[in-house]
Amino acid sequence: MSTRAADQASAQILKTCLQLLKDAGGLSRDTLKNTLTKLDFDLSNRLVNLRVNSVILRARSSQFIEEENGQLTVTSAGVLQLQKLIRITDFKFLKSQPWDNKWRLLSYDVPETERQLRNELRALIKQADFTLLQRSLWITPYACEKLLEDLLDNYPDYVQLFIVSSIKGDMNFSANFKNYID
């Protein structure tokens, strides 16, 4: 298994673990592993079993989950990580959809005092494959407005999303999306 495939498998296991723990309100390590087995994670394979243990260990050290009295529970940081992993999955799904012939332009001006928001915004821009058009103005053909909805609703003074059907002038940026928009 390649490193990238292993990372994707670990991310999928982490996402599933966090979702199960969130939905159940907490599970024992054995119950979590048994549930993963039923969800087609082949835990009879020693390597995958080690990967699940590794994911749980990393999730605990990253404070995404806690273990108390044999019960694993998801933390608020774990819920945020789960939301991030879900967004990544959703963005990958968007890339598989046909282009609707509209461009999404994202503009932002976030003050330095809101560094966490700036970092979250940069991560979203990267995940959605936005391309820099001009300073603080990014463009993508992917219909990502639903995924950016919380950000737009919570920070209307800092972030704006424009959906446009035509752009006149230099279209050099479109080369970044040639496989999608053709």
Which pLDDT tens digit goes with each residue over 30-80?
A: 888 878 777 766 555 566 677 778 888 999 999 999 999 989 999 988 988
Please choose, from the candidates 160, 164, 149, the residue with its C-alpha nearest in 3D space to the C-alpha of residue 101: 164
For residue 88, is it within any domain?
Answer: no
Residue 10 structure tokens: 């670990």
Say if residue 143 is in the same domain as residue 173: yes
Out of 81, 110, 138, pick the residue that ends a domain.
Answer: 81
Query: Considering the domain boundaries, does residue 89 fall inside one?
Result: no
Q: In sequence order, which residues have a C-beta less than 8 Å from that of residue 55 and are 6 or more positions away?
A: 10, 13, 14, 17
60 and 126 belong to one structural domain = no
| Structural domain contains residue 87 | no
Q: Are residues 153 and 123 in the same domain?
A: yes
Decide: helix, strand or coil at residue 38.
helix
Write down the residue that tokens 């999306």 correspond to: 177
Q: Residue 48 has what pLDDT?
A: 63
* Half-sphere exposure for 56 (CA within 13 Å, toward CB): 21
* CATH code, 161: 3.30.70
- Please give the angle made by the CA atoms of 49, 51 and 53, to the nearest 5 degrees: 70
Give the total number of structural domains in the chain.
2
- Map residue 119 onto helix, strand or coil: helix
Do 62 and 103 reside in the same domain of the chain? no
Question: Are 104 and 47 found together in one domain?
Answer: no
Could you read off the pLDDT of 84-133 as tens digits, one per residue?
787 777 777 777 788 899 999 999 888 889 888 888 788 778 777 889 88
111 and 59 together in one domain: no
Of 6, 18, 14, the residue nearest 55 (C-alpha): 14
Residue 156 lies in a domain: yes
- Predicted TM-score (pTM) of this structure: 0.57
User: pLDDT per residue over 147-165, tens digit each?
Assistant: 777 778 878 888 899 999 9
If asked whether residues 44 and 110 sit together in one domain, one would say no
Query: Which structural domain range is residue 114 located in?
Result: 98-181
Is 135's pLDDT higher than 70?
A: yes
- Among 81, 107, 133, the domain boundary falls at 81
